[in-house]
Structure 1
């Protein structure tokens, strides 16, 4: 059965994902269907970036600290 150009297996997959999201499961890969899960994905991405930035800043601070000790 084709609905708006989508095959039945795609519709079945979307339905399964949608019901899982309603149950609170965030998709491991791909874009979430529900606005709540999209917000969760966005916040997870922002958290990941903030953690990555913090690690970079820690490493840069350590390098500057080493350089300052050598100059003195």
Structure 2
């Protein structure tokens, strides 16, 4: 006995789905200053590191879907 999905695949072809553009959403993410600091052994304190950083989001580190570059 075939499952309903398998029966559809083996039967008549599926109707074409309408094309949809991906939704675009703008978000604001606030990062604390600590996100751009490293521990300085010489001074025994946190030190702010200026420069360019790439922020990424996704399901995992191997599947980053959105990236954005920032300069601090």
TM-score (norm 2): 0.16
Higher share of residues assigned strand: 2
Higher share of residues assigned helix: 1
